[in-house]
Amino acid sequence: MFPNLRRIAILTAAAGALASCATDRSVGLAPGVEVTTLAELPPPQGVNAYLIGPQETLQIEVVGAPSLSGTFLTDVDSRLDFPLTGTLDVAGKTPAEAGRIIADALRGTYVRDPQVRVLPKEFPVPAISVGGQVKKPGNYSAAGQPTLLRLVNQAEGLTEYARLDDVLIMRSVADRRYIGVYNLGAIQRGNYPDPQLYPNDIVMVGDSPERRRLLVLLQVLPPIVTTAAILITQQ
């Protein structure tokens, strides 16, 4: 009996160590990131339905300069190789912003007062990225003003390891990145409003090390100890 108890204690300690080592819950340590509370996460200013990304086809017109107009493809880093100006960085820019970048590069040296129009060949559906402990991670449509709970439901709900009080929403507002930390369980109970999501938001559902530790224990403990292990874990 005593060898079995010693083995259980060792396995319990090992499982706890693995869970603690695999989880880092600190947020907002990167430069330019601001951590806010649920009520303070700001909405984006003028939500852009389309931002230029990698390997996208753009129709560019320089008014009065047909030799500079045509169809162009961004590279894998969302840069644009444009005639006379060389490589221009248009990653994450709107078509209007990309037009101003091209016009500024052409102005003076090549064209006195360039007027540039940029149109994507196809407008992708604005999306929200969902990852972490949901059953179906991926990109989901941002149409129809989705909320956090609705989006989690679209992702087929939470996995058994999801931690309800560790749900993050990452958002860029006016060239600043914000992270909102949410308690999904409290939102489900109606203690907090269900926050609205916007195009280009990123949602991450955290992992519960306690649940993973319990799974390890259930795999190695004899059946007679299982009930006690569950009760201990739930305290």
Provide the residue ranges of all domains of the chain, joining segments of one domain with +. Answer: 2-47+125-234, 57-120
The conformational region for residue 86 under phi > 0 = left, psi -120 to 50 = alpha, else beta, is left
pLDDT at residue number 108: 83
Kind plus residue range of the DSSP H or E element containing 82? strand 79-82
pLDDT score at 21: 43
Q: Cβ(139)–Cβ(126) under 8 Å?
A: no
Q: Does domain 2-47+125-234 have CATH number 3.10.560.10?
A: yes
pLDDT at 222: 59
Tell me the pLDDT of the chain (235 aa) as tens digits: 444 444 434 444 444 443 444 455 565 566 666 666 545 678 887 655 578 889 999 999 999 899 999 999 999 999 999 999 999 999 988 899 999 999 999 998 888 889 999 999 887 778 899 999 999 999 999 888 899 999 999 999 999 889 998 999 998 887 778 888 899 999 999 998 999 999 889 999 998 776 666 666 666 655 554 454 444 444 3
Task: Look at residue 81 in the predicted model and tell me its pLDDT.
Answer: 94
Cα maximum dimension of the chain: 90
Question: Which pLDDT belongs to residue 168?
Answer: 92
What pLDDT, on a 0 to 100 scale, did the predictor assign at position 37? Answer: 57
Phi then psi for residue 24, to 5 deg, are: -125, 110
* Tokens, residue 64: 């009065």
In this prediction, residue 17 carries a pLDDT of 41
**Domain boundaries 57-120, CATH class:** alpha beta
Rounded CA separation 217/165 (Å): 23
